[in-house]
Each structure stands twice: as structure tokens, then as C-alpha cells.
């Protein structure tokens, strides 16, 4: 027995040494996007969600390919058409040591409902909830407003905050009161520059591999790649397609990638009689907005050579898009094809709509949000100009662009939308539903397209329990939006990361960088320690 104890003790010491070695490492991540707030429930924005996923948990989580997996709920089931039961994980604590419980779920839903000034609200993710009933310390029942089969999908987007923050303003989170049950806890934030994280000592999922994590915001593509190759950071996201070969060839880093779920699209002002950035060929204001005519919108779509854009602008790192979810996702409609590139038909459609000589247009986009975003928007503008729509491009920093776009200051914008829930309603509702600030429907509908038949089909799909019937409804809704050119889908982005040699990361279709899922090879000790303020 003594020999066995000695062997076991030796193995435990070795395990402790390996653990200590891994936890001596620091991780430095260069991110392309800058979050607007540390409030995880303020805004459906990729940068905000990415930060939140490092600090907070949800009842239901999404894996790297958006399949639902247990989170703070170990299981869930439908009790009847209108009631779901969630069994909660035992022994979970927040990063301040307080216990997670059912009241925190109530607080999180209440916090979402109380936010009034979000540019893209999370309210659609809770809109179907009628009541939350606490059955026991480890069981919660959620009653919905009629059948809501997608409730678990929608709850996967709701970060769980502590009960004391239910009515807290967003400014309280930004002041440093960031307390979650995720793998890391908040240490320090320099707005616009970066965020420091340290491990959450009580994390239920096991300790992460990093003693400190520094998330640096490096919006310039070239600077982000240079930082990786120089060893200033260990991981970068949103690798520009043109830099992939250089990263792989240098011996210091490598690239990992996966097909993504983020749609790059154009939203067009199809609601107003007069649109701010549309002019006649002589520069005069037009009293009738041509973007309201479906023939004009179809002409603009057919002016785009999507295959060439993917090949030349995106260096092949994308897939031409003709609809709202890619193949393989619930709600995909195989009958909707990628529009033909047909400049002659585009000119014919413009003439039929009353614009044989075209018109003038300015399109707007973010200069720092999407890989090759500026070059992509320039290519689209050139395509429009070639068929007679003289098009200029105005690029602005994302912090300015998205706010102004939400206030409908533009005529045409280039945006990107991820399939937040892993199925079609997660993009159809925010982008295409009739705008309704009370329910959160259409909060990302910056063109204000509206179609009652589409809304009715989408609403029916929300409440249809039969999977095949729901799929049919979603496909019908997608057809209506496609035929009316509600938006112009352009392409699906590939998600690409650069990693320092010796690190691993399973690429995610949602594009998020989760520090807890970056793993070191044995013996990797990282670079210079990150200096973090005390939590």
C-alpha cells in the first residue's frame, strides 16, 4: 500500500506541476471589434456578445457549431404546449462568491425588459415569456405566451446576471460591476483599448488554462496581423484573407477557419418617399424614392457578381449568398437560388421602373467591423455604377456608423448579421420583421421593409410545435422576403483565426473568440505577464 500511495502522490504532484505550468501562462488576444458596453444584455452586437461569453453563462449554451448544450441548466423539457421546465446546475457561484439560483434568471429577464435605448435589443429573445415559476431550488418553469418551441434557442442568447443587477443601469456594468458565472472574472477595462480578465476561482466548468487574459482591440487588419507575427499577441480573430498565406508560412503562427454564419447584406430604405442619400443624375433631390420599387432593388441585386466578389475581394474566404441562412441550418430554402449576375437585366429593370438613365446614390458602411469591409463596399458600389446607378461610398468607424444607421440617417447600408439562435428566426425576426420597439421585432430592420404576410408566417412559425410544419412556414416567409428583395444578401463570411504556434482553438461558426477554449500545448508558458488591475 505504501508503494501505491507513493505512486499516487507522485502522480498528483506531476498533475499539480502541469496544472501550475499551464496556469502560469498569460494569453493575449487581438480582437477586431470594440464593445460598446460591458452590460451583457444591452445590445445584440457581436463585440458585446463576445466579451459577455467570456464572463457570463446562459441557461442553455451553443457549441462551436451552434448545437444546444447544457449551461446553467443541466436539462430542459416541455411540460405542455406552453410550459418548459429547466433543471439547474448545483454548486454554481458568481465570480464574487455569491450563489447562483432561480432568482437570477428572473433578474436577467427583467433586466432585458427594462432596457429602452438599445440600438438592437435582446427583447425578441424574451418576448414569448409570460411567467417564470420557481418550482424548487434547482427547478424553474417558464410559461410562454402560447407554444414557443424555440425557447431554448432564444435563452442561449440571454446572459445570466446576479439578482441585484436586475434594475441596474448599463453604466453600473461599465463602472466595473461585472459579476458572472463564466470561466473568467472582470479585472480591468480601458474603453477602446482592451479588457483584462482573470480566472473565476469558483467556475463550475473547471479552471481555464490562463492566469491572465488580455483582450486587446486592434481594429486595423494589418496591425492585428503584424501584432501576431511579432509575438505581441497570441491569438487574433477576423484574419484578412490576404494574410492567411503569410501567417501560415512564417513558422511562428498558423490559421484555423470554418464556414461562418454571418451574412453580409445590404439594407435599402424601402419605406420613405424621400431618402437622404438618393439623388437624380444631375444631383437633384428626388421626390419619389427609387429604392421603394422592387424592380430597382432587384436590379441592384442582379448587378452584383457574388462569385467574383468572393474570389477577388474575399480571396475565396466566403460563400455567395442568396438567402438568409446557409445550407444546413433550420429554415434554409433550397428553392431560393443565388441571384444571377445579369447587368443587362439590371439596366432593363431600371428602365422599366422609370430610371433609364439611372440615379445617384451614396452607400454607407463601417470601416472597422468586417474583414475587407471597405474593399467589399467599394466593389458593390462599382457594380451599381456599371448598370447606371452612380454610387459613392462613405465609410465610418463602427461606433459612429451603427448609431447613425439605427437612426435611419442613410439610404443604403452594408451590414452583417449572425444567426444568433442557430436557426432562421434568429435572423428573419431582427432583420426583416416589421419594426416594433415594444416587442423588439425588427430592431435591426434599418430599411424598414414591412410585409404583413411575412410577419404572419413568421409569427406562426414561432408558435408551431411540429418541426416540419415550422420549417415549411419559415421557407415560405423567406420566399416572400426574397421575391420582394427585402434586403440584398451578398455573402457568408468565413471565420478565420490566427494562433501562435503551440496553441489550439476549435473554430466557431459564430466567430466568437472564447479564451477558455484556447488551449496551450504542454509546456507553453506564454509571453510577458499581463498587468491587470485588481478585481
Q: For residue 103, is pLDDT > 70?
A: yes
478 or 369: which leads in pLDDT: 478
Q: For residue 404, is pLDDT > 80?
A: yes
Q: For residue 6, is pLDDT > 50?
A: no
Minimal CA–CA distance to 78: which of 157, 148, 134?
148
Minimal CA–CA distance to 151: which of 140, 161, 162?
140
Q: What is the dihedral of CA 466, 472, 478, 481, to 10 degrees?
A: -100
Residue 528: the pLDDT is: 35
Q: For residue 217, is pLDDT > 80?
A: yes
For the chain, domain boundaries: 26-237+513-520, 259-493
Q: For residue 246, is pLDDT > 70?
A: yes
How do residues 278-319 score in pLDDT, each as one tens digit?
999 988 989 899 999 999 999 999 999 999 999 999 988 899
Q: C-alpha distances in angstroms, 124 versus 425, 461, 491?
A: 10, 14, 25
Residue 242: the pLDDT is: 84
Query: For the residues 346-375, what does the mean pLDDT come to?
Result: 93
Average pLDDT of the residues of the chain = 90
Q: For residue 275, is pLDDT > 50?
A: yes
Whether the Cβ atoms of residue 509 and residue 66 lie closer than 8 Å to each other:
yes
Residue 523: the pLDDT is: 44
Query: Strands (DSSP E) along 246-306, which ranges?
Result: 253-268, 278-279
pLDDT confidence tier of residue 520, bands split at 50, 70 and 90: confident
Whether the Cβ atoms of residue 184 and residue 213 lie closer than 8 Å to each other:
yes
Q: For residue 530, is pLDDT > 60?
A: no
Distance separating alpha carbons of residues 371 and 261, to the nearest angstrom: 14
Q: How far is CA 330 from the centre of its chain?
A: 17
Distance separating alpha carbons of residues 193 and 35, to the nearest angstrom: 10
82 or 6: which leads in pLDDT: 82
Residue 522: the pLDDT is: 53
Q: For residue 468, is pLDDT > 60?
A: yes
Q: For residue 376, is pLDDT > 80?
A: yes
For cell 463602472, name the residue. Answer: 175
Fold agreement (26-237+513-520, 259-493): no
How do residues 15-38 score in pLDDT, each as one tens digit?
333 333 444 489 999 999 899 999
Whether the Cβ atoms of residue 162 and residue 147 lie closer than 8 Å to each other:
no
Q: What is the dihedral of CA 182, 184, 189, 192, to 10 degrees?
A: -70
Helix axes 343-352, 294-302, angle to 10 degrees: 160
**Domain 26-237+513-520: top CATH class:** alpha beta
Distance separating alpha carbons of residues 184 and 508, to the nearest angstrom: 19
- For residue 35, give the H/E element and its range: none
Q: Which residues pair with 363 in a beta bridge?
A: 393, 412
CA atoms within 13 A on the CB side of 129: 25
* Domain 259-493, CATH: 3.10.105.10
Residue 418: the pLDDT is: 85
Q: For residue 527, is pLDDT > 80?
A: no
Residue 39: the pLDDT is: 96
For 224, phi then psi, to 5°, come to -65, -45
**Lowest mean pLDDT across 136-140, 209-213, 352-356:** 136-140
Q: Are strands 212-217 and 194-199 parallel, antiparallel or unpaired?
A: antiparallel
Q: Which residues pair with 495 in a beta bridge?
A: 258
How do residues 114-171 score in pLDDT, each as one tens digit?
998 888 888 989 989 999 999 988 999 999 999 999 999 999 999 999 999 999 999 9
Residue 485: the pLDDT is: 97
For 516, phi then psi, to 5°, come to -70, -20
Amino acid at each position: 500500500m505504501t508503494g501505491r500511495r507513493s505512486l499516487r502522490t507522485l502522480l498528483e504532484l506531476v498533475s499539480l506541476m502541469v496544472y501550475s505550468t499551464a496556469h502560469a501562462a498569460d494569453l493575449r488576444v487581438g480582437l477586431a471589434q470594440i464593445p460598446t458596453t460591458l452590460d451583457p444584455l444591452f445590445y445584440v452586437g457581436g463585440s458585446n456578445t463576445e466579451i459577455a461569453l467570456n464572463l457570463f453563462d446562459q441557461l442553455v449554451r451553443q457549441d462551436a457549431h451552434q448545437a444546444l448544450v447544457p449551461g446553467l441548466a443541466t436539462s430542459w423539457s416541455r411540460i405542455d404546449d406552453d410550459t418548459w421546465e429547466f433543471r439547474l446546475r448545483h454548486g454554481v457561484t458568481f465570480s464574487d462568491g455569491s450563489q447562483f439560483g432561480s432568482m437570477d434568471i428572473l433578474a436577467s429577464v427583467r433586466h432585458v425588459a427594462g432596457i429602452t435605448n438599445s440600438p438592437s435589443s435582446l427583447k425578441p429573445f424574451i418576448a414569448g415569456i409570460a411567467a417564470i415559476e420557481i418550482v424548487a431550488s434547482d427547478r424553474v418553469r417558464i410559461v410562454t405566451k402560447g407554444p414557443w418551441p424555440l425557447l431554448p434557442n432564444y435563452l442561449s442568447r440571454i446572459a445570466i446576471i446576479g439578482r441585484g443587477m436586475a434594475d441596474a443601469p448599463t453604466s453600473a456594468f461599465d463602472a466595473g460591476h461585472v459579476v458572472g458565472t463564466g470561466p473568467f472574472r472582470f479585472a480591468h477595462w480601458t474603453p477602446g483599448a482592451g479588457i483584462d480578465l482573470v480566472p473565476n476561482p469558483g467556475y463550475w466548468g473547471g479552471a481555464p488554462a490562463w492566469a491572465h487574459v488580455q483582450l486587446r482591440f486592434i481594429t486595423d487588419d494589418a496591425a492585428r496581423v503584424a501584432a501576431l507575427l511579432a509575438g505581441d499577441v497570441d491569438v487574433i480573430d477576423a484574419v484578412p484573407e490576404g494574410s492567411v498565406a503569410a501567417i501560415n508560412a512564417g513558422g511562428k503562427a498558423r490559421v484555423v477557419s470554418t464556414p461562418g454564419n454571418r451574412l453580409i447584406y445590404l439594407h435599402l430604405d424601402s419605406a420613405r418617399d424621400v431618402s437622404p442619400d438618393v439623388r437624380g443624375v444631375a444631383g437633384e433631390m428626388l421626390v419619389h424614392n427609387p429604392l421603394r420599387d422592387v424592380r430597382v432593388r432587384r436590379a441592384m441585386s442582379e448587378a452584383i457578381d457574388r462569385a467574383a466578389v468572393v474570389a477577388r475581394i474575399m480571396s475565396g474566404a466566403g460563400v455567395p449568398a442568396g438567402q438568409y441562412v446557409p445550407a444546413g441550418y433550420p429554415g434554409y430554402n433550397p428553392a431560393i437560388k443565388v441571384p444571377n449576375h445579369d447587368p443587362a437585366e439590371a439596366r432593363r429593370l431600371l428602365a422599366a421602373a422609370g430610371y433609364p438613365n439611372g440615379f445617384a446614390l451614396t452607400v454607407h458602411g463601417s470601416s472597422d467591423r468586417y474583414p475587407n469591409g471597405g474593399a467589399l463596399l467599394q466593389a458593390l458600389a462599382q457594380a451599381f455604377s456599371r448598370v447606371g446607378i452612380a454610387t459613392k461610398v462613405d465609410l465610418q468607424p463602427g461606433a459612429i456608423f451603427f448609431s447613425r444607421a439605427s437612426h435611419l440617417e442613410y439610404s443604403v447600408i452594408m451590414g452583417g448579421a449572425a444567426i444568433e439562435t442557430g436557426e432562421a428566426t434568429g435572423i428573419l425576426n431582427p432583420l426583416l420583421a416589421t419594426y416594433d420597439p415594444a416587442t423588439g421585432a425588427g430592431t435591426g430592420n434599418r430599411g424598414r421593409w414591412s410585409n404583413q404576410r411575412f410577419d404572419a408566417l413568421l409569427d406562426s412559425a414561432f408558435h408551431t410545435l411540429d418541426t416540419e410544419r415550422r420549417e415549411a412556414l419559415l421557407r415560405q416567409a423567406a420566399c416572400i422576403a426574397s421575391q420582394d428583395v427585402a434586403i440584398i444578401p451578398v455573402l457568408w463570411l468565413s471565420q478565420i483565426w490566427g494562433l501562435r504556434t503551440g496553441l489550439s482553438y476549435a473554430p466557431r461558426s459564430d466567430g466568437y473568440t472564447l479564451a477558455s477554449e484556447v488551449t496551450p500545448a504542454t509546456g507553453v508558458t506564454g509571453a510577458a505577464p499581463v498587468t491587470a488591475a485588481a478585481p
